[in-house]
Amino acid sequence: MSAPETTLLPSPKKRLHPAWIVAAVAFLALVGAAGFRAAPGVLMVPLQNEFGWSTTVLSAAVSINLVLFGLTAPFAAALMERFGIRAVTSVALVLIGAGSALTVLVNQSWQILLTWGLLIGLGTGSMALVFAATIANTWFAKSRGLVIGILTAGSAAGQLVFLPFIAMLAQEPGWRQASLLIAAGALAVVPLVLKFLKNSPADAGVEPYGAEEVADGTDDGAAAAGSPAAGPVAATDSSPGTETAAATEPSRNAAVRALQVLKRASKVRTFWALVAGFAICGATTNGLIGTHFIPSAHDHGMSETTAAGLLAVVGIFDIVGTIASGWLTDRFNPRLLLAVYYQFRGIGLLVLPILLSATVQPSMIVFVVIYGLDWVATVPPTAAICRQVFGADGSVVFGWVFAAHQLGAAAAALAAGAIRDATGQYTYAWFGAAAMCTIAAVISATIRKDAGTREPVLVAASTAGS
């Protein structure tokens, strides 16, 4: 008697986890919000030519934007916890679109402070890099560093997409059309956000991506030997007091929650090390290169479109560098990564004054590639340390650290403009920034090795006592 035949049923297809759909929409939202990040450097010269405003005045508008960009971030993280990621993101994109569109009507310097500064500053602040940390911490239980790297690269992609077109439009037909392009880019993403950007895994009826693997101890990040980015996260999330704070505080007023988190974080030494390093990071990216590279290249005889093209190349390599940094953060000590990133950036800034010329030399291409790889590679390791040390408060803490990033950027943007008006060149600004990068490298290297295992206890203790 022959054995009955066994019929093999096809295995069900593996369904794409909703977390990746959310991450894709978040990426597009960051691309749309990033349009203005490329605009000031390109539009500064045309505005000066039309209205006769000084570099200091336009730098002040950028500084207001950067200050609000930074100070809004921690409150935006708390607002996302209170009202949902989708609502806050949609409002932010509308503010960016409105501020950019209204810029075409300005004819006095105070009006550019209102549009560039207030409206776009509030909008971009609500769409700051803390948004990437919130998405990663809410939707992903593993590969958070990689996800933050990809989402952070969205800002670079926005610069890459918009910058060449902004530069061309600023020359012909004019800067007003460039402003309208930025507005359209921000508003175009709003329908996608409203339809696809879920607030939490519970809204989609799923667990965070990788939750089962992390629970089973099979997370690929945790499996890496010596990885500080995976093990401490799980320990921190279960630290006494941390879960209590996470469970009760989102129901409070968002501003109160943000300030309570700041109070606790300010008692931890690592927080101040991250604040100092990230302030220098902002000064040497958004504040100097992002705002003043094109005007400085123009001083050396280079056309605005050529300089804008170089910044677009920075954007291309920023995508590569930030995603790679996220991958590295899941596997290596983030404090050492920060030290290396800051020191390489300082070397680049030190040699920049001798590289600028009317034509693009091979040495300038080397600078652009290296600076692009390093542009915001600091974000994944910084966000990882925030998560390790502060657990469920990590996203809001990263918001405050990012606020320091933007305050540093604002100070550098204004100071560099004043240096240019006083000396006729940017050389001292570049040298000063190089020195600051060395300081940031030293600070980052001296963050305690056990920050991810011992300091959460201090945070929890301070929570109980508050």
Per-residue tens of pLDDT for the chain, all 466 residues: 555 554 544 444 567 888 888 889 888 888 887 777 667 777 877 888 888 888 788 888 878 887 887 777 777 777 887 888 888 889 989 988 888 888 888 888 888 888 888 888 888 877 766 788 788 888 888 778 788 878 877 776 776 677 777 777 877 778 888 888 888 888 888 999 888 888 888 887 888 887 776 555 544 443 333 333 333 333 333 333 333 344 344 445 667 878 888 899 999 999 999 999 999 998 998 788 878 888 888 888 888 788 888 888 887 888 888 888 888 988 888 999 999 999 999 998 998 888 888 888 888 888 888 888 888 789 889 988 988 888 878 878 888 898 888 889 888 988 888 898 888 888 899 999 999 999 999 999 988 754 544 444 344 433 333 3
Residue matched to tokens 């305050």: 407
State residue 224 phi and psi, 5-degree precision.
-70, 130
d(CA 256, CA 24): 31
d(CA 144, CA 455): 21
- Within 8 A by CB and 6+ apart from 123, the residues are 33, 92, 93, 94, 95, 96, 97, 98, 99, 186
* pLDDT score, position 281: 92
d(CA 134, CA 203): 16
* pLDDT score, position 4: 52
d(CA 328, CA 453): 20
Q: Angle 144-171/18-33 helices, nearest 10 degrees?
A: 30
d(CA 288, CA 290): 6
d(CA 145, CA 236): 16
- Within 8 A by CB and 6+ apart from 295, the residues are 41, 44, 45, 55, 420, 426
d(CA 255, CA 124): 18
- How far is residue 204 from each of residues 29, 62, 214, 215, measured CA to CA in Å? 20, 39, 20, 20
Provide the β-strand partners of residue 209. 140
d(CA 283, CA 417): 13
* pLDDT score, position 218: 46
- Quick one: tokens of 46? 């045309």
CA 180-294-51 angle, 5° bins: 60
* pLDDT score, position 169: 81
330 alpha carbon, distance to own chain's centre? 18
d(CA 243, CA 222): 21
* pLDDT score, position 245: 40
CB count in 10 Å sphere of residue 426: 25
- How far is residue 346 from each of residues 230, 265, 375, measured CA to CA in Å? 29, 28, 12
Contact 288, 412 (CB under 8 A): yes
- Within 8 A by CB and 6+ apart from 337, the residues are 325, 328, 329, 377, 381
d(CA 393, CA 460): 11
> What size, in residues, is the chain?
466
d(CA 458, CA 446): 19
d(CA 61, CA 398): 25
pTM for the model: 0.67
